[in-house]
């Protein structure tokens, strides 16, 4: 089984809807792509959400691959400005506590984790590693399903996944969580 590198999208602009990357985010994505070039990727996948897709394009450019879009990599909730930020954050917190709660702006946390798990199971059978640019919320929900809350790094549930952090899976075995060592 090949490794699956789940890449948190790079730093995004602070606005509702479907924000793109900041200049710093583009630098993060390029550095991540340079590092991933050394692992012999067979493919780069990306969420269709703009911040993740732009990250995937920059990683793909650095690795000489063409990015492939996959809906299963999208975030579990996305603030589009239709509800106040406070209400969105309250829904996010509620859904993190109750993984079966379906919030106003998304799907349940458990559903999101299962969606990402389906993607991982599909690509884990490839003979060479793949990178998948996704989002922190859905990555955390996959990890909660695979290893449980008590095995997550301290603060991950509350603080989220850092920009361009790598979570590495070998099949369904978690090798590393939210590492940013490649950005140093």
CA angle 153, 47, 84 (to 5 degrees): 75
Comparing CA positions, the residue from 5, 100, 95, 107 lying closest to residue 55 is 5
Whether the pLDDT of residue 105 is over 80: the answer is no
Element (H, E) at 23: helix 23-37
Mean pLDDT throughout 148-162? 92
Q: At what angle do helices 23-37 and 50-63 cross, to 10 degrees?
A: 40
pLDDT band per the 50, 70, 90 thresholds, residue 2: confident
The string over 24-53, giving b where at least 16 C-beta atoms fall within 10 Å of a residue's C-beta and e elsewhere, is ebbbbbbbbbebbeeeebebbbbbebbbbb
* Structural domains for the chain: 3-79+114-183 (3.40.50.1240)
Q: What is the mean pLDDT of the chain?
A: 95
Local structure of residue 2 (DSSP, 8 states): -
Burial class (CB in 10 A: 0-12, 13-18, 19+), 77: buried
Higher pLDDT, 54 or 17: 54
Say what the pLDDT of residue 16 is.
87
Say what the pLDDT of residue 86 is.
93
Whether the pLDDT of residue 106 is over 90: the answer is no
């Amino acid at each position: 089984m090949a490794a699956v590198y789940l890449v948190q999208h790079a730093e995004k602009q602070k606005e509702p809807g479907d924000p793109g990357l900041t200049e710093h985010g583009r630098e993060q994505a390029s550095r991540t792509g340079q590092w991933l070039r050394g692992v012999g990727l067979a493919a780069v996948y990306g969420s269709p959400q703009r911040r993740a897709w732009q990250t995937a394009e920059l990683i793909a450019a650095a690795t000489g691959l063409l990015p492939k879009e996959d809906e299963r990599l999208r975030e579990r909730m996305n603030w589009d400005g239709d509800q106040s930020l406070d209400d969105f954050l309250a829904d996010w917190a509620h859904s993190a506590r109750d993984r079966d709660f379906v919030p106003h702006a998304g799907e349940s946390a458990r559903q999101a984790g299962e969606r990402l798990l389906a993607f991982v199971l599909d690509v884990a059978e490839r003979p060479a590693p793949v990178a998948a640019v996704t989002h922190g919320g859905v990555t955390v929900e996959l990890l909660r399903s695979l290893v449980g809350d008590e095995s997550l790094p301290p603060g991950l549930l509350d603080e989220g996944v850092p920009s361009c952090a790598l979570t590495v899976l070998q099949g369904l075995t978690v090798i590393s969580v939210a590492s940013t060592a490649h950005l140093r």
